[in-house]
Amino acid sequence: MVEGKVVLVTGAGGGIGRDIALAMARHGARVVVNDIGAAVDGAGHSAGPAQQVVDEIHAIGGEAVPNTDSVADAASAARMVQCAVDNFGRIDAVVNNAGILRDRFFHKMSVDEWDSVIKVHLYGTYFVSRAAATFFKEQNAGAMVHMTSTSGLIGNFGQANYSAAKLGIAALSKSIALDMLKFNVRSNCIAPFAWSRMIGAIPTDTDEQKARVAKIQQMTPSKIAPLAVYLASDAAHEVNGQIFSVRNNEISLISQPRPVRSVHRSEGWTPQTIAEHAMPAMRASFYPLDRSADVFSWDPI
């Protein structure tokens, strides 16, 4: 479905990114495998993971080159996009998958823990997408696939930095879809459920946490790859500005915020009438303090 296309996959040295890069190659794409080779928290740097995936792609007869630039820097992101153009003559799609975790309860979170996660996820998605947008606009075609998360779309404990970044990515994707529609550029999000090195950082101190992790371990990164390949392909030319989740063999279309209830008073509102009228009228439609696991409560299919 992506025969002859050139695809940049960030964070492709392992986990979900690796499986997406391999799937792109199997379906005929030429792939830039980007990974800085860092630990889950972003520390360290190694060319090994990216090169290993490139070697795997070569072993199945595909074309790929490694790249170890960081998504968290604008000039570095521009270099990885240029890497695609220099090696393969063009760029047709980007998959913004790179990420780190620095989990901490909000009241204990440091500025560095906040900033580093926002920088990689939200800034990184912007930097790579913005660098690619110039080429997409010139060729009047292109596809962007961004990894969001139900931690941001729904909620989770101890991930204020990650959740804020991931919900921001969903909004960024919608803005890209609107702004670049006239240039035939698409932008969509995937909220993946899969066992990976990042998910492996989830604590397993309680029976509830252990049961949750056991469920996630059933969901392999390879389950995410088919949707990413599809969204990068011309077959998805009418799919734009959407958010999907992939949970083992389930694909879900995720809702986007819309009004669910409204009230009015012809004379306007005061704090007192809001307390007496508006809030009681809308309370039945309030959302509970759900976490992702509360909403996706059934065993993965």
CA angle, 38 then 42 then 111, to 5°:
170
Strand partners, 192: 246
Helix (H, G, I), strand (E, B) or coil at 81: helix
Q: Taking Cα atoms as reference points, which of 44, 40, 41 lies closest to residue 15? A: 40
What pLDDT is recorded for position 179? 98
The DSSP call for residue 299 is P
Active site residue 162: yes
d(CA 223, CA 238): 23
Q: Is residue 279 part of a domain?
A: no
Residue 17 belongs to what H/E stretch? helix 15-26
pLDDT tens, residue by residue, 138-184: 999 999 999 999 999 999 999 999 999 999 999 999 999 999 999 99
pLDDT in tens, 125-145: 999 999 999 999 999 999 999
Q: Is residue 281 part of a domain?
A: no
Q: How many domains does the chain have?
A: 1
User: Which residues constitute the domain of residue 49?
Assistant: 6-256
Q: What is the CATH number of the domain that holds 181?
A: 3.40.50.720
Query: Residue 195: pLDDT band by 50, 70, 90 thresholds?
Result: low
Is 285 within the bounds of a domain? no
Does 168 reside within a domain? yes
42, part of any domain: yes
Q: How many residues does the chain have?
A: 301
pTM of the model: 0.91
Q: Report how far Cα 97 is from the mean position of its chain's Cα atoms.
A: 5
Q: Would 62 be classed as within a structural domain? A: yes
Residue 266 within any structural domain of the chain: no
Q: Is there a domain that residue 298 lies in?
A: no
DSSP-assigned states of every residue in 225-281: HHHHHHHHSGGGTT--S-EEEEETTEEEEPP----------TT---HHHIIIIIHHH
53-91 confidence digits (pLDDT tens): 999 999 999 999 999 999 999 999 999 999 999 999 999
Q: Which of 123, 126, 162, 230 is catalytic?
A: 162
